[in-house]
Amino acid sequence: DWNSGNVIAEQVALIQAQVGSGKVICGLSGGVDSAVAAALVHKAIGDQLVCVFVDHGLLREDERRQVEEDFVAATGVRLVTVDVREQFLTALEGVSDPETKRKIIGREFIRTFEQAQAELIREAAAEDGDPIRFLVQGTLYPDVVESGGGSGTASIKSHHNVGGLPDDLQFELIEPLRALFKDEVRAIGAELGLPAEIVQRQPFPGPGLGIRIVGSITQDRLDLLRKADAIVRAELTAAGLDREIWQCPVVLLADVRSVGVQGDGRTYGHPIVLRPVSSEDAMTADWTRLPYDLLAKISNRITNEVEGVNRVVLDVTSKPPGTIEWE
Ligand code: XMP
């Protein structure tokens, strides 16, 4: 029967056979799938693997540190972080239409990853003439089944040609999680010693906090939303509800203001929306009936600790008709 140790041993042997002495690249998103795929490949071939992490500034609090410190400490993976926070803010300036945001974020992400890839490939080739020919992807079994859909969970879909390389040089894909379901991937991640924050992480969309600000994206709005999101996650964890809820998007209504009173003064601030949902597969979802005391605590903390927010509201819509994310 199913045993994570057996799967690891089997995949390690397969990866070694596929790659030989070749060089491999892997994009990390901070999520479970890419982290476990990278850890498996690293176990198989060590420093023949290099990982790339793109910090586009739309990440949640502590996410970059978790990858750069905790994941690297747990695996020993060679990691290159590309900091493109400024570039993304500039590209997104003044944009509030959700689909336009998604397109810009996707385009900038692929551009960034390809540039990093091209640079690493040149470096690798300069070392010993052997370029990087393999790309790791954290594709899961459900992604394989519904493939053709396109908007899967993989945040990196850029395995086509890289500028400056011969046209016919394609990456060969390494997909060690292709036969697995999410809970199996989590079990393997735990067995490989990955940090719980990564292994038990809830789904987080590729476009990140960018599609959780209703309105245009600015540095201040991102900082504000990051704080509110961190409070919500901390309180849900403290209440022991991480496994009961599928995910809980926290949304900033940046284009909406309402009147409030705080201390001696009138405020005119923004609402934060809580969107806790229960789901099996994100195709449908129900809003999670969180305990009132917990909601009260979250609301108090956000309005007290996050400047600019004077109201916390709860989204009580199932999917359908609402989607999980607001954009
Ligand atoms: P919706 O909002 O469509 O979300 O009900 C369903 C699930 O997908 C996640 N999501 C994304 N994941 N890239 C991703 O990797 C995306 O662009 C994206 N958009 C939504 C969402 O968080 C939920 O789990």
Range of the domain at 277: 212-314
- State the residue for tokens 């509110």: 228
In a domain, 320, yes or no: no
User: Which of 251, 281, 324, 327 gets mutated to test ligand 1 (max ligand atoms within 8 A of its CB)?
Assistant: 324
Q: Which of 153, 171, 199 delimits the end of a domain?
A: 199
In a domain, 319, yes or no: no
The residue whose CA has the least distance to atom 14 of ligand 1 is 205
In a domain, 296, yes or no: yes
CA 181 – ligand 1 centroid, Å: 17
User: Which of 54, 284, 325, 326 gets mutated to test ligand 1 (max ligand atoms within 8 A of its CB)?
Assistant: 325
| Inter-helix orientation angle 32-45/4-19, to 10° | 60
- Whole-model pTM: value is 0.90
Query: pLDDT for 133-167, tens place per residue?
Result: 999 999 999 888 876 544 434 333 233 333 444 44
In a domain, 102, yes or no: yes
Task: Assess contact for 210 and 58: CB atoms under 8 A.
Answer: yes
Same domain, 22 and 171: yes
> Which atom of ligand 1 approaches the CA of 106 most closely?
17
Signed CA dihedral, 308, 313, 314, 317: sign only:
negative
Same domain, 35 and 87: yes
In a domain, 61, yes or no: yes
- Indicate if ligand 1 lies below 6 Å from the C-beta of 155: yes
Q: What is the mean pLDDT of the chain?
A: 92
Residues facing residue 73 across a β-bridge? none
Query: pLDDT for 40-57, tens place per residue?
Result: 999 999 999 999 999 999
Task: Assess contact for 28 and 71: CB atoms under 8 A.
Answer: yes
Task: Assess contact for 159 and 138: CB atoms under 8 A.
Answer: no
CA 326 – ligand 1 centroid, Å: 10
Residues facing residue 314 across a β-bridge? 274
- Indicate if ligand 1 lies below 6 Å from the C-beta of 34: no
The C-alpha atoms of residue 13 and residue 9 are separated, in whole angstroms, by 6
- Indicate if ligand 1 lies below 6 Å from the C-beta of 176: no
Same domain, 195 and 216: no
Q: Which of 199, 234, 256 delimits the end of a domain?
A: 199
Same domain, 45 and 143: yes
In a domain, 263, yes or no: yes
CA 323 – ligand 1 centroid, Å: 9
Q: Which of 149, 176, 199 delimits the end of a domain?
A: 199
Structure confidence at residue 143 (pLDDT): 86
DSSP, collapsed to helix, strand or coil, labels residue 21 as coil
Same domain, 308 and 242: yes
Provide ipTM, 2 decimals. 0.99
Same domain, 41 and 138: yes
CA 153 – ligand 1 centroid, Å: 8
Task: Assess contact for 210 and 59: CB atoms under 8 A.
Answer: no
Alpha-carbon Rg for the chain, nearest whole angstrom, is: 21
> Structurally, how many domains does the chain consist of?
2
CATH number at residue 243: 3.30.300.10
Average pLDDT of the segment spanning 198-224: 96
Same domain, 157 and 227: no
Query: pLDDT for 172-186, tens place per residue?
Result: 999 999 999 999 999
In a domain, 169, yes or no: yes
Signed CA dihedral, 180, 143, 211, 106: sign only:
positive
Q: What is the dihedral of CA 183, 326, 143, 109, to 10 degrees?
A: -110
DSSP per residue, 29-41: -SSHHHHHHHHHH
Same domain, 107 and 222: no
Return contacts of 126-130, CB within 8 angstroms, 24+ apart.
Answer: 130/21, 130/22, 130/23
CATH number at residue 70: 3.40.50.620
Same domain, 189 and 218: no
Same domain, 138 and 285: no
Same domain, 235 and 184: no
In a domain, 327, yes or no: no
Same domain, 194 and 229: no
pLDDT of residue 170 exceeding 80, the answer is: no
